[in-house]
Structure 1
Amino acid sequence: MELEEARAPGGEGCLVGVVRIPVKIVAVLIVLPLRVVWDLLVAFARTLNRTVLGPLGQGLRRLYELLLLPVLRGTGWLIGVLFKLVFYWPWAGLWRYVVLPLGQAAYAYLLRPAGVGLWRYLLVPVWEYGLLPAGRGIAWLLAGAVRYLLVLPGGALYRYVLAPVGHGLRWLGRVLVVGVVWSGKAVFVWPWVALWRYVVRPVAGGAWRYLLAPVGRAVWAYLFVPLGQLLVSAWHLAGRVSRALGRGLVWLWRWAVVRPAGWLRRHVVTPVGNALRAGWAVGRRGVRAVHRQAIAPVGRAVAEVWRTTRLSVREARADVRRALFGGPPREPARSRARTLGSNRAAGDTPAPEISLHK
């Protein structure tokens, strides 16, 4: 707007002032929202192209180059080989090695000698001694009939009858055509030519030169040019406002959402998470210590008591069976003792009650 004011030092007319206010209103109510929507669509399209369409296109191109193109080439080569194998090579071989040699042999040893003999010993004599003299006689008779029956009577008729009548008809037609042409010009051409040359063209030229052209130049210079400049200025102003609005929204998002979220993550979520992780580690270590110092020894003692009880029951059952049915002497219980975690006999030395493995 400052450039426009500096470019028009002579002042502005009332027409420009009347037009400028509606244009500003239209620019604020229509052009600015359109420009904002346009900028948002451009940003969304760029983001979509950068994050989705571009990688998708690259992946599809790599898939086409690395998978589909070799498959298509191999398929085309295989189809070409099959096509040649089925439709080309058998027929080419048949033509080259069967039909062509047979045709050449038949032409060389059968058709050519038969044709030469037929031409030399049948057609040439019939032509020379029969058809040619008969044709010459018929042609001489036809030429004489045409000359004395058609050419000579027709020439006489044209020379002494048709030519004089044609010259007279041509002169009469020329006179009639010239009269019709002059009459048509006098009725349909000369009045309108005179009207155009001496009335319409001077009046139209004067109206264009002294009325329409100055009015058109004034309307263009003082209405359309300022209107276009105002629209361009409104478009640029709307773009600036849209960019400022976008920067304000980004700033508001950063200070209203991003910064508080970062502060909350650094000063609240991270310390709480660290504390929970430390508490979980301490709890796991405590549970392991309790299991190692209290629960594991009790479990091993219970297992050893259960094992001893089970061995005593087995020995008692074996003694009862031996007392009732007889059998070999019972092996001492000491020799059947097993170490914890081993399947070998412990020997004479008694096995420890609990064996720990690291």
Structure 2
Amino acid sequence: MGKKYPCMEVDLKKLTHNVKTILAMCNKKHIEVAAVTKVYCAKKPIVEAILEAGVAMVGDSRILNLKKLKDLNCKKMLLRIPMISEVYDVVRYSDCSLNSEIDTIEQLAKAAKKLNKIHNIILMVDLGDLREGVLINDVVSSVSKIVKLDNIKLIGIGTNVTCYGGVIPDSENLGKLTKLKIEIEKTFDLKLPVISGGNSSSLYMVINDTMPKEINQLRIGEAIVLGRETSFGKPVPNCYDDAFILSGEIVEIKSKPTLPTGTIGMDAFGHIPSFEDKGIRKRAIIALGRQDIRVEGITPLDNDISIFGASSDHLILDVTDSKKQLIVGSIVEFKIDYGCLLKAMTSPYVEKYYNN
């Protein structure tokens, strides 16, 4: 049988090449890489490929994903702040979790004690991006409570930037982590082996050699899968940006006007659309829609094809200028951004194929 569409094709060779490239540049700076698996829902063929490429730790925001990986020989990190309702599974299926709430850490300690385990945590510090993390002035008081807990081991401090507030990591804000580490170690007479300096947005500092030398861990997702750092959206040197290709099948192709006829109201998503009159154009409908992808995050590989728009289940393309002989049943391929990859890999309606 042939392929089913729509589908995502994953080139595992390109992906492992990206992994090895990023590991090499980080290892030169003595930075451990936690490979973030959430964007592709920790699909096992991909995780196994990146482990074979040399990754020793994976990180995911979902315990369900880490649970799927419980038999794989690697360290596992829970990236999203744990829910109290899941503390037993956090202890069971992750070796380390990122935390910012003392109440949750206390519950993790109780769960770890009942499960007869020691659970490692990294205390997250908010450096201005205003997503998760303890404010700088509250770090020492938080640590004073954490060190009193049994079955919890504070192994480091970390931060997250760019994801919410768009704050770009730099030597100044990441340098604050270094000062906090020194203060914590002196105050509590303990060693913090890990300073987790962010995600793919911090990778540009490795590339241009401005990363503070004390930062020794990064949590890398987008740079691995799409070959770009996320502070400025620039390519990571010697990495592929097309390890994931989205494909869809044409179900209708007809020449039609570009202006709808009738009174314009709201579309299926509550927006009032506007249209540019381009005359009669050849339009192709792909069996793929907003339930499966982020339409704004796709780019046709055929530069002569453009996107008119989409509904829940239909993607409408302008194929007038394409030099290909497109007919019903033809396949159109797209490069994608991170948001589209996230939706497509999560959608059960998009088939996944892994090419070695």
- For the aligned pair, the TM-score class normalised by the smaller chain equals under 0.3
Question: What TM-score results when the alignment is normalised by the length of structure 2?
Answer: 0.12
Higher helix share: 1
What TM-score do the two structures reach when normalised by structure 1?
0.12
Larger Rg: 1
Select the structure with the greater relative contact order (CA < 8 A; seq sep ≥ 6): 1
Higher strand share: 2
